[in-house]
Each structure stands twice: as C-alpha cells, then as structure tokens.
Amino acid sequence: MPEAREERKVPGPPGTPEVRVLIYRPTPQPQPFPAILYIHGGGMIGGAAEMMDAASVQLAQGHGALVVAVDYRLAPETPFPGPVEDCYAALDWLFRNADSLGVDPSHIAIMGHSAGGGLAAATALLARDRGVYLLSGQILIYPMLDSRTGTPEALADNPLTGEFVWTREFNRFGWKALRGTEPLPPERLGHFSPAQASDVSRLPPAFIAVGALDLFLEEDVAYALRLARSGVPVDLHVYEGGIHGFDLFPGALATRFEADLRAALGRVLQGAPGNTAPQG
C-alpha cells in the first residue's frame, strides 16, 4: 500500500452500505489544494479502486491534488442506479468535508477511464440535475457512454473499431448487467447512459480522449459534439491507431496523451471554476 494512501468508508446512498474510498494526499504544500474524484474502469462489472494506485499517486504528487478513488459497487450484483449513486455519494462527502480535507471546493474535478469515464459523465449530469455542487471539470478517458453501442440501435457501427480489448460482445454484456430488471424512468436515462441524456447543457468543461480504433470512438466524438453545441467547453482528442486502453502501452501515443492530460488537468484544477451554475 502506498504510504500516501488512506482508506475510509463514507456514507452511501440512503438505505445502502457505506462507500469505500481511497484517499491520496499531495506532497505537503499550502492548503487548500484542488481535488479529483477518480472512478476506475472495468466494464461496470469488474475492477477496484486499487487498480489506479500508481495513477492516483502520480495525480496527487504531479498536480498537488487530493485524489479520492471510489470503490463503487459493481453490476450485476448492484445494477443501476447503485454504481452512479455510490459515485455521487463520494462526491457529496468530498464537498461536505472539503474544509477538513484541506480542499478548495471551487476546484474539484471528476475523472475516470472507460466505465469509470462513463460513470464520471453520469455523476456530472447527476450533480447538475440535483443542483448542489459545482464541478470544475470532467476528465473522460475513452468513456463508456452509450448503452446502444454494439446493438442495432447504435448511432454508428464503425467496422474499424472494437476489435481489440473491449468488443461489441463485451459491451453488450456490461450494459445488460448494469441495466438490471427494474424499470428505468425517462428522466434517469442520462444517469444510466450519458449519451442518451436529453440535455447536456450547463455541464463542467470536458476533456475527452479516445483512440481511433476504440469501440467508443463514435459515441465519444458524438458526445463531445453535443457538449460543444450546448455551450460546454470541450477539449476532444482522438489518437490515431489507439485501441481501448492505448495509454497503458508505452510509446508515442501514451506520451502524447500524458502531455494532453497534464495540460487539461492544469486547466480544471488551477483555472476558473466551470460554467455550471448550481440549480435552485
């Protein structure tokens, strides 16, 4: 266990277990510092907060930020809305305890890879809809956004994508597990599948990164366009030849991505708060 890591249990959604989080503190520096709510990937059905140990330490030390990694409950044992509500509960705890944690509440961003990126986008939508907290940015790394991808209802079916790592079959399985059997109210569709949200305005500035060979290419680019058309600042990066998880393989693509990510984090953690206004 990294020395900088602390494990806590924070209040979960009403009537559910506590949510386990891992906290990574930056090198001692003047407070308050920015914070990142970090959500791991795993197709909605696997993974754990510990997966991102090295990345969380690097974020904390490299950006002087407090990082809170969420160990949300997984499908199919916990279908929607359990995972996104766990992430929102962790966000709620982070904002409520910002002062005692030494965090600047005007510079709290949300971040995730793959399924974690989809949950980050969903949590940003949920935060906007509940109108309590203002996020400074959303960092979405090849996010899993659209439950239609890989089905006949897909917005597009690019034959060049989805052949490596995360396939159409895996995608259908992950979304089916998350969906469960309970009715899905129309007003919650975007919290389940962010690409299907009816309104994506008044969201925090977004950084979206995806490989050109990733199954999520079409849905991620489409979501970026919707955000931009709704007046949300978007920084979209498509990496030529990149498969799902391309940043995990050392090389030129990963190096370029790391530089782009570093710049984006600098903006959302140190710049002016995002363009979202809390709702009444």
Q: What is the 3-state secondary structure (H, E, C) of 16-58?
A: CCCEEEEEECCCCCCCCEEEEEEECCCCCCCCCHHHHHHHHHH
CB 43 within 8 A of CB 112: no
pLDDT value of residue 132: 95
Catalytic residue among 214, 220, 237, 247: 214
Encoded tokens for 250: 């050392």
In this prediction, residue 14 carries a pLDDT of 94
User: How many other CB atoms sit within 10 Å of the CB of residue 6?
Assistant: 13
pLDDT at res. 36: 99
244 is catalytic: yes
pLDDT one digit per residue (tens) for the chain, 280 residues: 445 699 999 999 999 999 999 999 998 888 899 999 999 999 999 999 999 999 999 999 999 999 999 999 999 999 999 999 999 999 999 999 999 999 999 999 999 999 999 999 999 999 999 999 999 999 999 999 999 999 998 888 887 787 888 899 999 999 999 999 999 999 999 999 999 999 999 999 999 999 999 999 999 999 999 999 999 999 999 999 999 999 999 999 999 999 999 999 999 998 755 443 333 2
Number of H helices, E strands in the chain: 8, 8
Is residue 114 part of the annotated active site? The answer reads: yes
Q: Quick one: pLDDT at residue 3?
A: 52
Q: Which one of 56, 63, 114, 146 is the catalytic residue?
A: 114
pLDDT for the residue 272: 53
Each domain of the chain, given as residue ranges in start order, spans: 5-270
Please give the pLDDT value at position 157. Answer: 84
* Sign of the alpha-carbon dihedral angle for 150, 197, 41, 72: negative
* Start-to-end CA span in the chain (Å): 42
Q: 5-270: what CATH class?
A: alpha beta
- Residue 275 has a pLDDT of 42
Whole-model pTM above 0.85? yes
Residue 58 C-alpha from the chain's centroid? 17
Please state the φ and ψ torsions of residue 150, each to the nearest 5 degrees: 90, 5
What local confidence, expressed as pLDDT, does residue 2 receive?
45
113, 193, 244, 247: the active-site residue? 244
What was the pLDDT predicted at 156? Answer: 84
CA distance 159 to 201: 31
Instruction: Let me know the angle formed at the C-alpha of 46 by 44 and 49, rounded to the nearest 5 degrees.
Output: 100
pLDDT (0 to 100) of residue 160: 79
